[in-house]
Amino acid sequence: MDNQDQENQSDADIYKPWQRATAIYCRGNTEIYTLKDYPDWLMKVYYTDISANLEINFIQLTVEEPCRNQVQIYSDPSCRFAIHDSCCYWYIMRKYTAPSLKQLDTNWQQVGLHVLQFLEDVHRKYRRVHMDIKSTNILYESERNRYIVSDYGLCESPSTILTREVNTDFRYYYYRFGAEPDQPFVSYRMDLTMLAYLLLDLTWPSAEGLGFDAAFIRRRNNPRERTPSESAMFAMRDAAIAKASPVVRSLLAAIDRAVPWVTDEPPSASFYGELTDILLSVSAPVSVSTSASI
């Protein structure tokens, strides 16, 4: 048996009864494959220490009782999650459509409602925070006409680490979505604020795009270059919020009033109901977003 046959045989033993077809994502220690004979499902594989893998830990936590609008895991308990002694961890998940930005813009209200339902369950049922609410992590299930929140690689329990204490890449990433230097960013409030900033992107009324977006991206990617100061970037961010749609300003005002940055308790069920009412009652202009994605 040559090396290729040995590799194929090894894969077959590891991934029984699934047969991998095409790799559609390979980055770092993560791979995603289509499956032979199962066109509606994908295999996600990790080569990592499970104790350090936040996504696998979240999947284990929620697999029996998933959150609303969470990625569906294959229902057969014997197949949906597996571990191999080569430090390969994998599970089978539903295949969804990646919606276009225009689709998200047009359906911003439905997107907001479905993401909010997901966050309520993550926060209140599991006391976790997602930490990566953005357009590229929103998928679409056409059969049920619903939007799905994906990518649980940053999902963990809230912590008291201040934003200014983390490395440049994380710091400026979260500053772009409303984090404050002297407040914890791994928090329930950060998730809800990121939802508001997602809707800021999707309902932005100007064809010019969001000026502060590029500033934070540049500072994040090139920390030693001459870029606007933090205070200048925060001023740009605040100016954009002042011109945001009514739904974004109302959401941020409600979050600021009711959700502290530091808290062991998730917001009440009635608060998520309040945010739902805001999404249902406040209209906002809809346009195709031109801001940069990160």
pLDDT of residue 89: 80
Looking at the fold, whether 154 and 18 belong to one and the same domain comes out as no
Cβ neighbourhood burial of 219 (10 Å; 0-12, 13-18, 19+): buried
Q: What is the largest CA-CA distance in the chain?
A: 67
pLDDT of residue 5: 45
In a domain, 289, yes or no: no
Looking at the fold, whether 68 and 107 belong to one and the same domain comes out as no
Say how many domains are in the chain.
2
Looking at the fold, whether 135 and 251 belong to one and the same domain comes out as yes
Looking at the fold, whether 151 and 240 belong to one and the same domain comes out as yes
pLDDT digits (tens, 9 = 90+) for 162-192: 999 998 888 999 999 999 999 999 999 999 9
13 vs 76, higher pLDDT: 76
In a domain, 18, yes or no: yes
In a domain, 287, yes or no: no
Give the span between the Cα atoms of 73 and 41, in whole angstroms: 9
Looking at the fold, whether 139 and 270 belong to one and the same domain comes out as yes
pLDDT of residue 81: 60
Domain membership of residue 51 as a residue range: 3-94
Q: Is the pLDDT of residue 236 over 50?
A: yes
In a domain, 158, yes or no: yes
287 vs 245, higher pLDDT: 245
HSE toward the beta carbon, residue 6, CA cutoff 13 A: 3
In a domain, 288, yes or no: no
Give the span between the Cα atoms of 55 and 76, in whole angstroms: 20
Looking at the fold, whether 123 and 57 belong to one and the same domain comes out as no
> What percent of the chain shows pLDDT beyond 90?
63
Give the span between the Cα atoms of 53 and 58, in whole angstroms: 9
Q: What is the 3-state secondary structure (H, E, C) of the chain?
A: CCHHHHHHHHHHHHHCCCCEEEEEEEECCEEEEEECCCCCEEEEEEECCHHHCHHHHHHHHHCCCCCCCECCECCCCCCCEEEECCCEEEEEEECCECCCHHHHHHCHHHHHHHHHHHHHHHHHHHCCECCCCCHHHEEEECCCCEEEECCCCCCECCCCCEHHHCCHHHHHHHHHCCCCCCCECCCHHHHHHHHHHHHHHHHCCCCCCCHHHHHHHHHHHCCCCCCCCHHHHHHHHHHHHHCCCHHHHHHHHHHHHHCCCCCCCCCCHHHHHHHHHHHHHCCCCCCCCCCCCC
- The set of residues, in sequence order, having a beta carbon less than 8 Å from that of 121 and lying 6+ positions away, is 67, 68, 70
Final residue of a domain: which of 94, 124, 158?
94
Final residue of a domain: which of 94, 118, 140?
94
Which CATH number belongs to the domain containing residue 60 in this structure?
3.30.200.20
Looking at the fold, whether 141 and 90 belong to one and the same domain comes out as no
287 vs 46, higher pLDDT: 46
Looking at the fold, whether 90 and 112 belong to one and the same domain comes out as no
- The set of residues, in sequence order, having a beta carbon less than 8 Å from that of 56 and lying 6+ positions away, is 46, 50, 89, 91
Looking at the fold, whether 110 and 235 belong to one and the same domain comes out as yes
Q: Is the pLDDT of residue 131 over 80?
A: yes
Looking at the fold, whether 89 and 114 belong to one and the same domain comes out as no
> What percent of the chain shows pLDDT beyond 70?
83
Give the span between the Cα atoms of 217 and 284, in whole angstroms: 26
Which CATH number belongs to the domain containing residue 124 in this structure?
1.10.510.10
Looking at the fold, whether 129 and 30 belong to one and the same domain comes out as no
Final residue of a domain: which of 32, 60, 94?
94
In a domain, 290, yes or no: no
pLDDT band at 51 (very low <50, low <70, confident <90, very high): low
Looking at the fold, whether 83 and 169 belong to one and the same domain comes out as no
Average pLDDT, the chain: 86
pLDDT digits (tens, 9 = 90+) for 80-93: 565 555 557 888 99
